[in-house]
Structure 1
């Protein structure tokens, strides 16, 4: 490998020998210290071999002695490359400037990402990092060692127990581990748990306090379910009632579901715009002109240049503008009823809570009029039926 590199530095030529005595030429050249390689006959009267540029000029004296003539068929190596570059100075300068530009751009911090912070804000971490010389558009060779920077950031951010700084190409990642503190329990006053709605109790669990209702018992809104008063007489005391009570609650909904449905359709017409991404800026290079569509959707796709683990601040962005139109679709009565029922169920679950379960649904009334299906629906829902009521001094219960 070193020999090939040395040959490239000196420059090599491939020559074709015609006339005279080619065998004598080769023998005299080798005897005179010239280094010939790849010696071969290309035809009955033509001999070809390779030699360095310096040896090529020393070959002339042997040509006269043997009556041979040579023709150079190939030139390789740095001397010839430099000659070409002299003829293409602007091209060579452009190549050099390109690589210099890429090097300079890859030597800057283009973005900083913060991970793991919950209590500390990104702004606090960015401000502390800037005090340590870490900020966008900073030269990477001016940054401190990551271990030193991590320790200094921990000292500047009291809410952090550990901070890791990692550099990936032009991006710096700050990983934060915050101090964990036990959750402070809110001070709670004595209370009852009462019914939040009229219901039939299906399940009751008392953690603290005294249950005053049983399973399958009908309760009214505001009625005490778990009392915060326990004991009796001189031994009566008040506590924070805790527990869970579930029950069947009834909802009635009037549904009006249209027999037509608006749907979005792509026409297939689109316009594409390309942008060159340099740092955080986008320069449009194609797809100029105004948007030709009245209604449309835009899809953006971005690619960032990378080399190994280095993410370069260069890339391209593709913006596709697709024409859409709105069409009306006729629904059958069954489809309209199903759509209306699904919307009503969603409203019930929103009101009853995420842990609620619809146990039964009954359509009380149904008719079709003026392009809509009208329904009155009765839902039977099992849900949590407790709410808190502060306990006041009571004479008895």
Structure 2
């Protein structure tokens, strides 16, 4: 049986034919290639059938002289639907505007909830969100990705340890874990403080224990600095020695700096493209044409569009094209040395910790080989050399 569903787009009519010459009328339709379907007889002189709207003019020619009368009972299909839409245009436009408004509001930010933060931290988070252009009334597909928001807040606000970000409907939910002052760790038992490395004592601050050194003493690695055994004989008391002993220490660093180096950098030129994606179909909304950059990097963010609480199989795609260019950096010998000294300082400061400092630095050797400046640098530093050592039974005997 032939499928006539496609006739919906051109229009379909249901026709009732009555008269004595029905068979002759049907034969005439066939000879004139007029396609009909769903033919039903209603007695000997009546029948109904369906046909395409485009063949109605041919039907009127054929019925003349056939002895039959025609009555059009029902009309349906795209042409008739279109006429009804035109006739009820105001109502249709109202529905479309309403749906468009609901769709628009469903894809905007209408709430920001922050839990777990005190008022001061809450204020800082909201100020930072404003800087990131995440605010009420903003389109969701124009905001940052959730993981990017999380990273930005964690890095920019020192008062928080962790923040969870979730988008539910039209509301951003932030769960904050604030930093707490670390509790002082209780010592597990009696202990001494010994030298972690060879050094010359510069300064000290002892909270508990008995000092076994003097300023300017040169101490060896493992030497006892502060004893946790206080007093003698019956007046002996065992404590957990605590304190900081700063000593002058020495390091040697070898640094290599290329005089000429080539690398890729962004030059500041970028192009934005906004695309609506439905399945495999891409519809450009903003940023038409091809990208003229020869060397570039593309960052793509996809946002699912919503209707009320439902996610639609429609995505708003934001593509950012950033132009890159190759840059060759050439240091003079003096610049290379300064850069090497800077790198060496960073390396040493990482070793001696936040409380340490560089007292003096001296370049022992400086050479140029294979397009690189090679430096050997000697550092004199001040750092805390105190190291904890538990007191054992043998220490008490």
Q: Which TM class, normalised by the smaller chain length?
A: 0.5 to 0.7
Shift of 1:245: 0.6
Over residues 165-202 of structure 1, what are the superposed CA-to-partner deviations in whole Å (9 max), with x where a residue is unaligned?
xx999326577899x99958545211111111111111
**Aligned-pair CA distance for 1:349:** 0.6
Distance 2:374 2:114 in 1: 53
Partner of 1:195: 195
Q: CA RMSD in A?
A: 4.7
Instruction: Tell me the equivalent position of 2:98.
Output: 96
Trace 1:150-165 onto structure 2 (pairs within 5 A). Answer: none
Residues of 1 paired with 2:351 and 2:112: CA distance?
43
Q: Map 1:375-386 to 2 at 5 A.
A: 375-386=375-386
Q: Which stretch of structure 1 is more off in the superposition, 199-208 or 88-97?
A: 88-97
Q: Deviations over 1:92-135 (max 9, x none)?
A: 331132234456x38x99988553279xxxxxxxxxxxxxxxxx
Equivalent residues of 1:190, 1:241 under 8 A apart: yes
Match of 2:325 in 1: 325
Normalising by structure 2, report the TM-score: 0.52
Aligned position for 2:359: 359
Tell whether 2:254 aligns with 1:250. Answer: no
Aligned to 1:225: 225
CA change 1:183–1:343 in 2 (3 A) is: closer
Aligned partners of 1:183, 1:256: CA distance in 2, in Å? 43
**Is 1:260 matched with 2:263?**
no
Unmatched runs of 5 consecutive residues or more in structure 1 = 1-83, 119-166, 304-312
CA 370–190 in structure 1, closer or farther in 2 if over 3 Å, else same: same
Measure how far apart 1:354 and its partner are: 1.1
What is the alpha-carbon distance in structure 2 between the residues aligned to residue 353 and residue 181 of structure 1?
Answer: 20
Counterpart for residue 234 of structure 1: 234
- Which residue does 1:10 correspond to in 2? none
Note the 1:46-125 alignment, pairs <5 A: 86-87=88-89, 90-102=92-104, 105=106, 115-116=115-116
Deviation at 1:221, TM superposition (A): 1.1
Q: Which residue of 1 aligns with 2:4?
A: none
Q: Secondary structure of 1:387's partner?
A: strand
Aligned to 1:390: 390
Asked if the contact 1:212/1:227 (under 8 Å) is kept, the reply is yes
CA distance in 1, matches of 2:87, 2:297: 49
SS at match of 1:326: strand
Which residue number in structure 2 is paired with residue 296 of structure 1? 296
Partner Cα distance (1:170, 1:221) in 2: 62
- Equivalent residues of 2:187, 2:240 under 8 A apart: no
CA contact (8 A) 2:114 2:176 kept: yes
Paired with 2:393 and 2:194, the residues of 1 have a C-alpha distance of 16
> CA distance change for structure 1 residues 265 and 172 in 2, over 3 Å: closer, same or farther?
closer
Deviations 1:234-253 (CA, angstroms, capped at 9, x unpaired): 32232100111111110011
Partner of 2:274: 274
Task: Compute the TM-score of the two structures, normalised by the length of structure 1.
Answer: 0.52
* Alpha-carbon distance in structure 2 between the residues aligned to 1:375 and 1:266: 31
Indicate conservation of the 8 Å contact 1:204/1:214, yes or no.
no
Q: Give the superposition deviation at 1:350.
A: 0.6
Within a 5 Å distance, the mapping from 1:206-217 to structure 2 comes to 206-217=206-217
- Tell me if structure 2 keeps the 8 A contact 1:250–1:380: yes
Counterparts in 2 of 1:186 and 1:275: CA distance versus 1, 3 Å: farther
Greater alpha carbon shift after TM alignment, 359-368 vs 321-330:
321-330
Listed one character per residue, the Cα deviations across residues 322-363 of structure 1 (whole Å, up to 9, x for unaligned) are 121332221100111111111111110111101111110011
